[in-house]
Amino acid sequence: MRLRATLSMLGMLVALPAAALDYLSVAEPALAYDSPSRQGTPLYAVARGTPVEAIVVLDAWVKVRDAGGELVWMEKRLLSEKRMLIVSAERAQVRVQADDPAPVVFEAERDVLLEYVEAGPSGWVKVQHRGGQQGYVKVVQVWGL
């Protein structure tokens, strides 16, 4: 009985679930695998900057969920804590202020990556485009929060 409890505790230490809504981004182009091993099957390539949600963290591997909801394994060393968002709407309007009538700074199409700057008023988030333009986008138009 004691051995079983010890083994159970060790198992918990090896595969710890990530904190709820723990988002990371891909630090450099990486492969998504079907298992936590390079001997696993590579499923597809993931572009640098792509946000992912950490679900389970192992020693050198992280099970992540992508914007499409797919669960895959990625090497931990290829992930970054830099917060990135991906446009999930057909077209997102990034505005000067967190207000629908505010002027539009730029529009971003689906799958465009935006850097998370800070939380905005309820329902909004401040973002930055790689070209340097900043503004507020509705949280329902992006994924990675």
The domains of the chain, with CATH numbers, are 2-82 (2.30.30.40), 85-143 (2.30.30.40)
For the cut 80, the answer to whether the pLDDT of residue 12 exceeds it is no
- The mean per-residue pLDDT over the stretch 105-134 comes to 97
For the cut 60, the answer to whether the pLDDT of residue 4 exceeds it is no
Q: pTM to 2 decimals?
A: 0.83
Note the pLDDT tens digit of each residue in 62-80. 999 999 999 999 999 999 9
HEC string of the chain? CHHHHHHHHHHHHHCEEEEEEEEEEECCCEEEECCCCCCCCEEEEECCCCEEEEEEECCCEEEEECCCCCEEEEEHHHEECCCEEEECCCEEEEECCCCCCCCEEEEEECCCEEEEEEECCCCEEEEECCCCCEEEEEHHHEECC
